[in-house]
Each structure stands twice: as structure tokens, then as C-alpha cells.
Amino acid sequence: MSFNDIFKNSFMERAVEFSILDTLISLVLAYALGMFIYFIYKKTYQGVMFSQSFGVSLIALTMISTFIILAVTSNVVLSLGMVGALSIVRFRTAIKDPLDVVYLFWAVGVGIVLGACMYPLAVIGSAIVGVILLIFVRAKTPDCDYILVVECNNDAAEQKAASIIKEGAKKSAIKSKTVAKGYLEVTYEIKLSGDSTEFVNKLTATDGIEKAVLVSYNGDYMA
């Protein structure tokens, strides 16, 4: 028996072999777990505007990856071609929040596991991951980070602003400074120990300070 005979007997005869029942079960579970991922994403989202399309894409990605793996596991020849085809795919959409990558990888991982017909692993694993994300992402930290932009008329006003910020904030650091004739704009990264922002009102009431803008910030500049 030649290698071609073994190749044909082992692979080519299974080109259309798949279980309709397993396919239906896998896709139904993919939809259900995709909805669960979408629910966790919606509950843990902390951005400014919720992206409905990204949430829907998590459901679709779970189901798509499921039937791809079902096709791959049913035919080794097809799996080799699938690897080559998917290797040229490039995703150009920018991911702004690192946590979004977690949800994308979660959706793909669930699809792979369901495509391999490991249903208990997909359900139990998704439940554990969902609970962990709910606990850690929604947990409120005692300190809050903000960006504060202060517009001053002169150096004296800038010094007064720095003194007020030092009294009202737990920690502060200058991130940028714009200087023009009769105009100063200083950007601070500040950390508050509580919810009180009364020092911002005190800033605007100080002579020489034209405006103070406080914006919530989620960066990693400060240790």
C-alpha cells in the first residue's frame, strides 16, 4: 500500500463526515455562551460610549469559530488548507481598551472548545471567567485618577493653583505646560482619595485662574 492510498483512505473519505446533532448542539451552545460573554462585557464596560456592534461581534465570533473548528476536526485535509487561508487574514480594527482583547480571545476560545465538542469545559470555563471579570473589573478602587487642566494668567496664579491642588489631591504630577503671552495652561495628573472635588471650585474662584477642567482618566502614568 502506497502513501497515496493511506492518505486517501484516512482523509479523503471523511471529507463530508460530520454529525448534524453535534453541529446543532455546538452552535446552540455557541450562541448561548456568546450571549453570556456579551452580557459580561456589557456589565463590565467602563468606557464612555458602549459599542453595541462590538458586543454583537462577540456573539458572531463565538459561533463562527465554532463551525470553523467543526469543519477542521472533521477533515484533516481541510484543516491544512484552513491554516493556510487564515494565516493571511489581518484585522485592521484598532483595539483601544486592552480588556476588549480579553473578550475577543474569550469568544474565540469558547468557539474552539465547542467545536471540539468539549461542552462541559466551555460552560464551566466561561462561568469561571465571567465571575472573575465581574469581581475584578467592577471592583471600585479607593483612589481615582483624573486629568486636571488649569488656565492661568501669570506665574503667580500658577503657583496658587499648584498649592490648592496639593492640598486637595492625594497625589499630583505635571504632564504638560503650554505658555503664551498672558496665558498659561498646565495639565496635571491627580489622584483623589475620595469623591470630593471642592478644590476645583476653589481654583476657579482664585484671582488669575480663568478655568479649571477635571476629567476622569484611566491611564497608567502614575505608579
Question: Is residue 169 predicted with pLDDT exceeding 70?
Answer: yes
- 223 pLDDT tier (thresholds 50, 70, 90): very low
CATH, domain 144-216, list 3.60.15.10, 3.30.9.100, 3.30.70.260, 3.40.630.30: 3.30.70.260
Amino acid in position 123: V
Instruction: Please give the C-alpha separations between residue 168 and each of 138, 193, 203, 216, in angstroms, as whole numbers.
Output: 26, 9, 10, 16
pLDDT of residue 75: 62
* Ranges in the chain annotated CATH 3.30.70.260: 144-216
DSSP structure string for 80-126:
HHHHHHHTT--------SHHHHHHHHHHHHHHHHHHTT-HHHHHHHH
Q: Which whole number is the average pLDDT over 143-148?
A: 76
Residue pLDDT, tens place only, 32-79 = 999 999 999 988 887 667 778 888 999 999 999 898 888 777 665 555
pLDDT at residue number 6: 47
CA-nearest of 70, 72, 79 to 115 is 70
- Across the chain, mean pLDDT equals 78
Measured CA to CA, the distance from residue 156 to residue 218 in angstroms comes to: 31
Alpha carbon distance 202, 161 (integer Å):
9
